[in-house]
Structure formats: structure tokens, C-alpha cells
Chain A
Amino acid sequence: MKTLRPRTLALVGGALLVLLAAPKLLPVYQLRLVTEAIIFALYAVSYNLLLGYAGLLSFGHAMFFGVGAFATAVALNHIAGLSLLSAMGLALLTTLLVGLTVGFLLLRVKGTPFSLLTLAFNALFLAIGVKWHTVTGGDDGLSLSAPKLHLGLGVLDPSNGPDIYYLTLVILGGALLFCWRFTRTAMGHSVLLLRENEERMRFLGYNTNVTRLILFVFTGVLAGLAGSFYTLLNAFVSLDAVSIDMTTKVLLMTYLGGTAAFLGPVLGAFFYTYVQDYLSNLTDNWPLIMGLIFIVMVLFAPGGLSGLGKDLAARLKRATTAD
């Protein structure tokens, strides 16, 4: 692994300091927005491992997000005395099982049929959510009061803004780092191969079905983790978490941020969260504006915001060297 340049180190260190100090600097509402953006950042990065890295366009990522979100609420509501971390563990286990089952059924299809079927499975999970009223609460959703998390040093209360922020920052930040590391492992590289030339990969002796299944399950569990935090942050979960809208959301975030860079979806998640916050104060039709931005990006800037940034940087560099 190459050593980090001093400039990168300073940037990362500065960003970390700002993130750690955020609860002291920001009002309650703003802190909540940042927490939400971090949750969506993990959701979008997990999605981009499928879309940007493996070239698999899924329209069903919300099924994992939703299963993670609902499993957390159901576990905490039904098992007395369950600790926060065990509830999350259970939620992750549930998304793991869902990922294995759905992934196994989807192994045989690629390309467009894959996209179509992920959408159908998403619709199936939404239907389960609507119909299985006794467990999911149906259209009413589920509210919960999350237990406090007892650590050696003190107690974290998920209903307290700064506490849930730090919890999100540490666990989801850790998950994001893990994703970044993952893209640099042999497994991560084989995912790129899957996108570029699957046939050749098979000739080289890889079992591409196993790679695809592992990736599908891995990204699903990450989305489930994001969903679990979404439930904790809101102390409530509704069918919104497993709806097609939640899939659209992650797709828009990822694409707006740019699929070619690891940090693109993180950028997209923050962009989306803040633009939505701004627009929804102005008009109820903010999704329409978001959709128009998306279409314009698809037509004219397929690299997303990070792609535009790269272009701009390259142009500036050329301009300065030309002088």
C-alpha cells in the first residue's frame, strides 16, 4: 500500500476534526441532517459497489435497507431486554439471509433481466410489509424506543442527537472505511473484472457466480446496516424504508455523486440530503426538480458531480500549465 501524501493526510485529519467537533458547532436540526447524510452515504456507497464497481444496476436495494430497518424495530419491540448491538446484529443476520435467498434466485440472470427482477423483488418485499400487518405495522409503521448503549466509558442514548451522531459516525464511518479497503483487496479487484469481462474471468478459472453472490450479499448487508441506523435515528420505521422511492433515492444519490469514484456516492448523499432539505422548504414538488436534475445529468454529465469536478480540475491544470 502506498503511503499517504502529507496533503491528503492534512485533508483527512482536518475533515476528521470537523466531524468530531460537529455536535459542538451545529444546531440540533443541522446535526440531524448530517447524521442522516452519513447513513445515506453508507447506503449509497454499498449501492455503488454494485453499480459502479460491478456494473450491476439494481432497482431493489431498498429491500435490504428496509429489511434492516424493520428487523431492528421488530427485534427491539418483541425481545425484552435486547441490547442495541444485538438488535443490530439480528438485523444484519436477517439481511444476510434475505441477500442469500434473493441473490441465489438472481444468479442466473444478468443485464436487464437482473435490473427488472430486483425491482420485482423490491415490490414483493414492499407487499410483505403492507400485508404482514401484525409484524410490520402495515401502513402505520412501527415506533420504538431504542435502549441505551452501555459502554465501558459511559452510556450512549440513541434518542439524543449528539449520541446517535457519534454512534453513526464511528460505526458507519468504520463500515465506509471497510468498503474502501474492500475495493483494494483481491476480491474487490475481481468485482471489477466481473464488470469488464465476465467471460474472460471464467476462462481464468474464477467462479463468477460465487463472486456475484458474495458481492450482492455483502452490499445488501451494508444497506441493511444503514437501514438499521435510519430506524434508530427516527425512532420510527415506516413502509417508506422498503419502498421503490427508497431505491430511487439511492440511485439518484449515487448517480448524482458519480459512480466512477469511491467517494462519489458520499458526495451524492450529502448533496441529495441538503438539496432535498432546501427544496422541500420551497415546494412540495421537490422530487420533480430532483428528477429533472437526474435526467440532465444522465444526458449531459454521465460522470456525476465527481466527474464534473475532475473535468474542472483537469481544465484548471491545463489552463495554469499553458500560461
Chain B
Amino acid sequence: MSDLAVFFLHGLAYAGLLFLVSSGLTLVFGMMNVLNFAHASFYMLGAYFAMAIAVYTGQFWLTLAVAPLALLVIGAVVERFLLRKVHVLGHVHELLLTFGLAYIIQEGVKWIWGNNPQAINVSGLLASTVHLGGIVYPVYRLFIFALSALLGLGMALVIYKTRIGIIVRAAVNDSAMVNALGINVPYVFMGVFAVGAALSGLAGATAGPLLGVFPGMAGAILVDAFVVIVVGGMGSLGGAVLASFIIGQLQSFGVLLFPDFSLALIYMLMALVLVLKPEGLFGEKS
């Protein structure tokens, strides 16, 4: 019984990370119809920045503040100076650009930091364990889940309760119309892209101590994040929450129940959704 609880909590922590990565991805896709293949690379950059900061300053909390800020700037620059430039060339070129960026970030990270996996050490409370109804559980995983849940709530508040949120939601629905109403949609888009990159960077910075920092970490989460937005429905924030939860649990229990086929479970879920409901659980029919 307690084993099940442990794996459930493991699943929650991973679901938190997945949500932080996929929420930005799905909103950007909903608004501009651009699937950002470099999004998971922002996650990886977040982890590497965090590692560098932790090595130089020894301050873990500082990494959680600086890494997302750096990614916020990088995200804004990528959108403003690269993505917007190829927008006129059409869809395929936008995908190719983000794919090329992911490739360059991947190789750049290998060039700067090498191929070997590295670790970020946390200390104090975060490195300790707690007793939860008979099980001993590491605080850090709970921290990841709490952080992402908090950010998720914050995002929901911004998106459903503020004027900016209304504009973003409207732009997801019909960006041309919003533009026609006199709102600077390219500007909003840049903001969402940058915030999405920052969230992804934060996810990477928090994932570093748990999963390690290595050049393959972008590819590892990219596919999972794609499955999340396919299953949840592209452009749907609620879908991303639900799908992150499902896939986090599938990952976690998959390893427990079918260690050799845990990956296959996720693909089977995706295939199932594609056949039964191609627009995703919360997606709208096109």
C-alpha cells in the first residue's frame, strides 16, 4: 500500500514538471499555431544555467530566480528576432527554425558543458525527508509538485481573472480578430512566448537536482510534453493539467508494473486518443 503512495507521489512530481513545460508550449501553439520544438531546449538551458549558478554561488534559491529570468530574455529574443522573421515564409519554415534552434542548443550545450551528466546539490530542508503516514518521502519531490501547483494556480488566475488573460484567451481562439480589435497581438505573443520559455526554464532548474543535468534531457521531456498537448488538446490549459497528471502517473506506475514497457504505455495512450478523439481530451474540433 505504502509503495503505491510513493509511486503516486513520484508521479505527481513529474506531472508538475511536465505541466510547467507543456503549458507554455500549448498556449503558444494555440495562439500562433507554432509548435516550438526548442521549448524543451529552454528546459535544458534552465537546468544548465541553474547548475552553473549553483557551482559559482552555492545558492540554490538564487538559481530558481535567475535561470527563469535568463530564459525570459532568451525567449523574447528568439521570438522577436528569429521566429517573427520566418513567419511570412509559412508554417513549415517556422517548424524548421525551432527544430534547428533545438539542434543548435543541444550541440551548444555539449560544446560548453560536455557530454557527462552533472548534478545540482540542494541542502537544508529541501535535501531532507518527511514522514507521511508511515512512509518516508524526500521533501524535494513534494517541493517540485507544490511549486508547479502554485504556479499553475497563478497562471489560472492570470488567464481567467485578468484583462491580459482575456486577451491571451481570445488570441488563442482567433488571433486575427483580436488583432483587428486594436490589440497588438505580436506583442502579446512575444510575451506569452517569453513567459512560456521562463516557465520551461524554471522547470529545468527544479528538475536538475532530481533528474540530473545532461544533454539528453531536452529530448527526454520533449516527447512527453508533446504527448501531453496531443492528449490534452492543443491550446488547452486545462487539458495540459489533466494530461500532465495522467502521463506523470503512467510514467511512475509504468516503471513499477512493466519496467520494460513503461514507454510503450505512453504511446499506447496517445494512439488511443488519436483514434478515439483526435482533437484531444479538451481540444476543440477543427
Contacts and interface: CB of A to CB of B under 8 A. Distances in A.
Interface of A: 51, 55, 57, 59, 105, 108-109, 111-113, 115-117, 119-121, 123-124, 127, 131, 244, 248, 251, 255, 285, 287-288, 291-292, 294-295, 298-299, 302
A108 B107 contact: no
B224 to A, nearest CB: 10
B97 A298 contact: yes
B264 A127 contact: yes
Contact of A299 (B95, B97, B267, B278): B97
Nearest to B85: A299
Q: Is the interface of B mostly helix, strand, loop or mixed?
A: helix
A52 B77 CA distance: 30
B260 interface: yes
A120 B267 contact: yes
B270 A291 contact: no
B1 interface: no
A119 B219 CA distance: 11
Contacts of A51: 92
Given A109-B274, A287-B103, A288-B104, A115 B35 contact: yes
B86 interface: yes
A59 B223 CA distance: 12
Interface stretch (B120-128, B162-170, B226-234): B226-234
A117 B274 contact: yes
Given A108-B274, A112-B35, A294 B100 contact: yes
Contacts of A287: 103, 107
Q: Is the interface of A mostly helix, strand, loop or mixed?
A: helix
A198 B122 CA distance: 55
B260 A116 contact: no
Contact of A112 (B91, B267, B275): B91
Contacts of A57: 92, 95-96
B278 A108 contact: yes
Contact of B263 (A124, A255, A302): A124
Interface in B30-65: 33-35
**Residue from A105, A116, A121 with most neighbouring chain B CB atoms (10 Å):** A116
Interface in B238-286: 260-261, 263-264, 267, 270-271, 274-275, 278
A295 B107 contact: no
B99 interface: yes
A163 B100 CA distance: 37
Contacts of A244: 219
B263 A116 contact: no
Contacts of B86: 298-299
A116 B111 contact: no
A111 B95 CA distance: 10
Interface in B80-132: 82, 85-86, 89, 91-93, 95-97, 99-101, 103-104, 107-108, 110-111
A195 B82 CA distance: 25
B200 to A, nearest CB: 17
A111 B264 contact: no
Contacts of B95: 57, 112, 115
Contacts of A123: 219, 223
A119 B223 contact: yes
Given A105-B271, A124-B267, A288 B107 contact: yes
A235 B96 CA distance: 33
Nearest to A110: B286
Nearest to B223: A123
A117 B234 CA distance: 13
Interface string B198-235: 00000000000000000000010001001100100010
A51 B92 CA distance: 9
9 contacts: A57-B92, A59-B99, A105-B274, A113-B230, A115-B95, A120-B270, A131-B260, A244-B219, A288-B108
A59 B92 CA distance: 12
Contact of A117 (B33, B34, B230, B261): B230
A180 B223 CA distance: 35
A131 B35 contact: no
B227 A288 contact: no
A294 B103 contact: yes
Given A116-B226, A287-B103, A299-B82, 18 more contacts: A59-B99, A109-B274, A112-B33, A113-B230, A117-B270, A117-B274, A120-B270, A123-B219, A124-B264, A285-B110, A287-B107, A291-B100, A291-B104, A295-B82, A295-B101, A298-B93, A298-B100, A302-B89
Nearest to B103: A291
A109 B234 CA distance: 12
B137 interface: no
Contacts of B230: 113, 116-117, 120
Contacts of B7: none
